[in-house]
Amino acid sequence: MTSNTNSLPNSTRRVWSQHPLWQAVLAILATVIPIAVVLALAEASVPKVWRIAWPSLFAAALCVWGYCAYVRRIERREPVELAVAGSMRELIPGLALGMALAISSLALLNFAGVFHIEGSNSWTAALKPLPEMVLVAVFEEILFRAILFRKTEAAWGSTVALIASAVFFVVAHLPNEGISVMAVIVTAVAATGFASAYMLTRRLWLPIGMHFAWNTWFESFVSLPVSGHASHGWARGLLEGPEWLSGGTYGIEASTATLLVWVLVSAALLWRVRKRGQWMVRG
């Protein structure tokens, strides 16, 4: 027995299209598919020498386009969370905060004698990871904050959304090399920090800036593993010491020093969210 959705009344189709779970699926597809297509086509049809920077940047642009198209078509509103107007007033503080988080973590590790610089590579090594870091920051903030967190918060409130956001973010990082209990805890706290930055402005530019600056500092400048991924940047940094402090093969994001810094910043952001009345409660 077959069915035809075209035979359903318009009101029934509208209710179906407005279901939060169905919307989340459509939103994820709208952001993931453009990235997958661009990167796959570039790898399959473009010589490696010509695959410098543009595939990641193009994929990031299409990711934004796909999400905005979904919002306009399915949610029938303007995607204010990615509006360009006023974006620099949030992106620049986000970049500064992400860099401050990274430098503070390294300062604690340096004070503990765990972090030091072995040497340096060519300054051009700092440029190579930047396009990929743009893609990672844009895609992950759209996926985890604009889609998963926002949809969960609208249905069940901020408390449930923060917990779910942390779980989603942790699960996405579980396959990474060197994952540990401490890495899971730090990742969950970082997810709370990014979500709090989104809640503070109800836009993505602040968390995108934080995410990009955090990853870029370690990928491009001090060459430390990030979420289990090896980095090859300008300076050749080294973490030596007990795993609970150095992070082991997972890197800086499995260190107790990083946990301390992220807990303090996330708590401060949550406090500002509460003070601004941005906490959503659903009965």
pLDDT digits (tens, 9 = 90+) for 193-239: 999 999 999 999 999 999 999 999 999 999 999 998 888 889 999 99
Tens-digit pLDDT profile for residues 14-27: 555 566 778 899 99
Last residue of some domain: 47, 78, 109? 78
- Domain shared by 198 and 98, yes or no: yes
- Domain shared by 138 and 239, yes or no: yes
- Domain shared by 114 and 250, yes or no: yes
How many C-beta atoms surround the C-beta of residue 180 within 10 A?
16
* Per-residue tokens: 167: 């779980």
Q: Is the separation of the CB atoms in 214 and 229 below 8 Å?
A: no
pTM of the model: 0.91
- Domain shared by 159 and 65, yes or no: no
Q: Is residue 281 part of a domain?
A: no
* Per-residue tokens: 74: 């399915």
Task: Going residue by residue through the chain, which has 283 residues, state the pLDDT in tens, using 9 for 90 and above.
Answer: 434 444 445 544 455 556 677 889 999 999 999 999 999 999 999 898 888 899 999 999 999 999 999 999 999 999 999 999 999 999 999 999 999 999 999 999 999 999 999 888 888 889 999 999 999 999 999 999 999 999 999 999 999 999 999 999 999 999 999 999 999 999 999 999 999 999 999 999 999 999 999 999 999 999 999 998 888 889 999 999 999 999 999 999 999 999 999 999 999 999 999 999 999 987 5
As a whole number of angstroms, the distance between CA 236 and CA 113 comes to 16
Q: Is residue 148 part of a domain?
A: yes
Q: Is residue 216 part of a domain?
A: yes
- Domain shared by 251 and 122, yes or no: yes
For residue 172, the number of C-alpha atoms closer than 13 Å in the C-beta half-sphere is 16
- Nearest-Å Rg of the Cα atoms of the chain is 20
Contacting residues for 246 by C-beta, under 8 A, at least 6 apart: 109, 114, 239, 240, 255
Phi, psi of 219, rounded to the nearest 5 degrees:
-70, -45
Q: Is residue 119 part of a domain?
A: yes
Whole-angstrom CA distances from 206 to 88, 98, 203, 215 are 9, 9, 7, 15
Last residue of some domain: 42, 62, 78? 78
Q: Which domain holds residue 74?
A: 1-78
Last residue of some domain: 28, 53, 78? 78
* Per-residue tokens: 30: 């709208």
Counting the structural domains of the chain, the total is 2
Residue count of the chain:
283
